[in-house]
A and B are shown apart, each in its own frame.
Chain A
Amino acid sequence: MRRLAGTAAKAAAIALFAFALIGPLANLVLWSVAERWYTPYKLPVTYGTRYWEVVFRPTGDAMSALSTSVAIACLVVVVALAVSVPAGYALARLRLPARTLIMIAFLLPQAFPSIAIYINVARVFYGLGLTGTIAGVVLVHAAHALVYSVWITSAAFAAVDRDFELAARSIGATPWHAFRTVTLPLAAPGIMASAIFVFLESLDEFTGTFFVGVPQVSTLPLLLYNASMGGNYQIASITALILLVPSVLFMLVIERFLRADVLAKVGR
C-alpha cells in the first residue's frame, strides 16, 4: 500500500516535472498552428498552416534571416577555429609562460556581463563603419565564443596520446607533418564538438547582434524578437521552432563528439 502511494507520488512528480519542462515547448508548437486565437478560448479558434506559408515564402523575411544567420554562424566557426586550433595546440602541447593566465584570458568575455561590452563595441564600430555589416557581427560572435573554441580544442589536443606523435616523429616526420597527419585527425572529434558549440552560440546570439547588426543585418533571433514584440506570436513561434532544430539535433548527437576523456580535460 505504501509502495503504491510512493509510486503514485513519484509518477505525479514526474508528470508535473514533464509539464513544467515540455509545456512551454508544446505551447510553441500550438502557437505555430494557430490561425485565430483570442479570448476567451483556451485553445486556438482556427488551426491552420497559413503562417508557415507566410514565414517560408521565398521573398519572406524568415528565409533571408535564416540564410544570414547560417552564413554568419559558418563564418564565425571559420574565424574561431582559425585562431583557436593553433592556440589550443600551443596550450596543450607547448610550454607557455603564464599558461593559466592565458586560459583565464579566454574565459573573460563570458565572465563579465557582455551587454556593456557590446554597447561600446558598437560605438567603436560606428566610427569604423562596421555596424550593420556581416563582418562586424562575425567579429562580435567569434570573440564571445572563444572560450568554447579554445578550451575545448585545447582539451581535445591534450587527450591525444603523445606516443602517436612521438612514433611519427621517430620515423622521420617533421613536426608540421606529424601534426597534420597524426594529431589533427585524432583531435578532430573534439574540434568538431567545439565547432558545433561555436556554431550554436552564433546562431542563437541576440544581444550582440541587437547592437552591432541592426538594422541591416537581420538574423533569426532578431526576427523572433521583432515578431514577438510586434504581437505576431505565430511568426515568433515558428521562428523559434526553426531555431530549435539545430539545438535539439546537437543534443541528440552530442555523445558522439564529446567523449569522456575530452570532457575530463576541459579547463585543465
Chain B
Amino acid sequence: MTSRRFPLSGLLLVAPALAMVAAMFVFPFVLSVVSAFSSPAGAPTLANFAKAFELYSGDIAFTLLIVGLSTVLIALASIAIAGTLTLSETPWLVTALAWLYRWPLFIPFIVAAQCMRTFLAKNGLMNNSFVTLGVLDPDSTQSFLDWRGIVITFAWKQTPFVALLLAGAMASLDRATIEAARNLGASRLRSLIEIVLPQVAPTLLVGLVLSFVTMLSVLSVPLMVAGSQPTMMTVDMAFRINSYSDYPVANALGVISYLFTALAAWVYLRHSLGQERGQP
C-alpha cells in the first residue's frame, strides 16, 4: 500500500536532491559540451576538437588503451578470485583468499598511486624483492612507472570491487546447476566458464562498466605514477586548465571522454537488452 493521497509530496521530498544534481552536474555538463563546441566568439565550431587532436591524439588513444586493458585484467582477475572462492575445495585457501582480496577495496586512488609510485620504481620494493630472491638480476630491473604502472594501479584498486560483486552474485546462485555439472565430470574450470559465468554475466558487466567509467575519470594516478608523456586525457585536461585556462580544448577532451563512456554504456545496454529478449 503506498500513499495515494499526496503524490505531490513525494516529488517535493525528492526535489532538493534533484535540484542538487541539476545544479552541480547537469548544468556544468551542458556548459562543458557547449564550451567544447564554441569558438571564442560564441559560434559553433569543431576547431577545439581539431586542436585537441593535434596536441593530444596520442594521449587519447593511450587513455582508451590503458582503461581498456585495465578492464580486461580486472575481469580476468575478479573471475579468478570469485571463481576460486565459490568453487574451491580447499577451505584454508578460501579463507586466506577471502581475507586478502578485500584490502585494496576502500583504499582511495590517491593512496594507491602513492604506494605504487615507490613500489614500482626501478629501485622500488618490488624490483628489490625480486633481486633479493634471485629472480631478477640488478641490471635488468625496469621501472614500471609508465603506462604499465597505471594499468597495474587501476587493476590493483578495482579488482576487489568487481570480485566482491561477482562473489556475491555467485554465492546466490543455485548450487544445483554447479553440482550437476561436476557430477557429469566437468572440471571446476569448465563449470566456472560454462555454467557459473553465463549466469553472473550481468553483474560482471555492471562492475566492469562502473570500473571503466571510474578509471576514465581518475586524475591522481596518472599524475603521480607515470611521467608526463604519454599520459591520460585527464592529465592533459588539468594541464590545459592550470597552465593556459584553455577551457574550450579541455572541454573538447571532456566530450571525447563522454563518448568513451557512452561506448561502454552502449555495450552494457546491448548485452542486457539482448539478455531480456532472449528470455521467454
A and B touch in the complex (CB under 8 A): yes
Question: Which residues of A approach B to under 8 Å, CB–CB?
Answer: 7, 10, 14, 17-28, 30-31, 39-40, 42-43, 82-84, 86-87, 89-91, 93-97, 102, 105-106, 108-124, 139-140, 142-144, 146, 150, 162, 166, 175, 200, 203-204, 206-207, 210-211, 221, 224-225, 228-229, 233, 236-237, 240, 243-244, 247-248, 250-251, 263
Question: When the two chains form their complex, are residues B128 and A115 in contact, meaning their CB atoms are under 8 A apart?
Answer: no
User: Of B47-55, B99-107, B185-193, B269-277, which stretch is located at the interface?
Assistant: B99-107
A-B contact number at CB 8 A: 252
Cα–Cα, bound, A150→B26 (Å): 17
Question: When the two chains form their complex, are residues A14 and B250 in contact, meaning their CB atoms are under 8 A apart?
Answer: no
Which of B1, B156, B219, B220 makes the CB contact (< 8 A) with A24? B156
B22's nearest neighbour on chain A, judged by CB, is: A105
- CB-CB contacts of B18-36 with A at 8 A, as 1s and 0s? 1011011111110110010
Which of A30, A31, A142, A175 makes the CB contact (< 8 A) with B20? A142
Residues of B close to A20: CB separation below 8 A: 156
Question: When the two chains form their complex, are residues B110 and A206 in contact, meaning their CB atoms are under 8 A apart?
Answer: yes
Cα–Cα, bound, A109→B164 (Å): 23
Cα–Cα, bound, A21→B111 (Å): 14
Which of A25, A97, A210 makes the CB contact (< 8 A) with B219? A210
Residues of B close to A30: CB separation below 8 A: 125
Question: When the two chains form their complex, are residues A90 and B223 in contact, meaning their CB atoms are under 8 A apart?
Answer: no
Question: When the two chains form their complex, are residues B25 and A86 in contact, meaning their CB atoms are under 8 A apart?
Answer: no
Question: When the two chains form their complex, are residues A121 and B17 in contact, meaning their CB atoms are under 8 A apart?
Answer: no
Question: When the two chains form their complex, are residues B32 and A110 in contact, meaning their CB atoms are under 8 A apart?
Answer: no
A–B complex contacts, Cβ < 8 Å, 10 sampled? A24-B119, A84-B17, A93-B2, A115-B254, A116-B237, A116-B255, A146-B17, A204-B110, A207-B220, A244-B111
User: Of B8-16, B38-46, B175-183, which stretch is located at the interface?
Assistant: B8-16
Residues of A close to B126: CB separation below 8 A: 23
Further contacts, 18 of them, CB under 8 A, given A115-B217, A118-B28? A17-B97, A18-B96, A31-B118, A42-B131, A84-B17, A86-B13, A87-B13, A87-B17, A90-B9, A96-B7, A109-B24, A113-B217, A119-B241, A120-B251, A139-B24, A211-B241, A225-B224, A233-B118
Q: Interface residues of B, CB < 8 Å — how many? A: 85
- Distance in Å from the Cβ of A76 to the closest Cβ of chain B? 12
Question: When the two chains form their complex, are residues A86 and B16 in contact, meaning their CB atoms are under 8 A apart?
Answer: yes
Which of B32, B125, B223 makes the CB contact (< 8 A) with A26? B125
- Distance in Å from the Cβ of B76 to the closest Cβ of chain A? 14
Cα–Cα, bound, A263→B165 (Å): 11
Residues of A close to B253: CB separation below 8 A: 116
Cα–Cα, bound, A243→B56 (Å): 34
Residues of A close to B103: CB separation below 8 A: 21-22, 25, 251
Residues of A close to B102: CB separation below 8 A: 251
| Interface SS, A side | helix
Residues of B close to A124: CB separation below 8 A: 27-28, 31
Question: When the two chains form their complex, are residues B234 and A115 in contact, meaning their CB atoms are under 8 A apart?
Answer: yes
Which of A42, A200, A211 makes the CB contact (< 8 A) with B106? A200
Residues of B close to A18: CB separation below 8 A: 96, 100
Residues of B close to A118: CB separation below 8 A: 28
Residues of B close to A90: CB separation below 8 A: 9-11, 13-14
- Distance in Å from the Cβ of A51 to the closest Cβ of chain B? 14
- CB-CB contacts of B107-126 with A at 8 A, as 1s and 0s? 11111111111110001111
Residues of A close to B14: CB separation below 8 A: 86-87, 90-91, 96, 102
Given the known A-B contacts A24-B156, A210-B219, are A94 and B114 also in contact in the complex, defined by CB atoms under 8 Å? no
- Distance in Å from the Cβ of A38 to the closest Cβ of chain B? 9
B104's nearest neighbour on chain A, judged by CB, is: A21
B217's nearest neighbour on chain A, judged by CB, is: A113
Question: When the two chains form their complex, are residues B28 and A121 in contact, meaning their CB atoms are under 8 A apart?
Answer: yes
Q: Which of A27, A42, A97 has the most CB of B within 10 A?
A: A27
Residues of A close to B241: CB separation below 8 A: 119, 122, 211
Question: When the two chains form their complex, are residues B254 and A228 in contact, meaning their CB atoms are under 8 A apart?
Answer: no
Which of A84, A106, A112 makes the CB contact (< 8 A) with B261? A112
Cα–Cα, bound, A7→B96 (Å): 14
Question: When the two chains form their complex, are residues B114 and A237 in contact, meaning their CB atoms are under 8 A apart?
Answer: yes
Residues of A close to B260: CB separation below 8 A: 113
Question: When the two chains form their complex, are residues B131 and A119 in contact, meaning their CB atoms are under 8 A apart?
Answer: no
Residues of B close to A240: CB separation below 8 A: 110-111, 114-115
A123's nearest neighbour on chain B, judged by CB, is: B247
Cα–Cα, bound, A102→B18 (Å): 8
- CB-CB contacts of B224-240 with A at 8 A, as 1s and 0s? 10000000001001100
B262's nearest neighbour on chain A, judged by CB, is: A112
Which of B2, B24, B100 makes the CB contact (< 8 A) with A95? B2
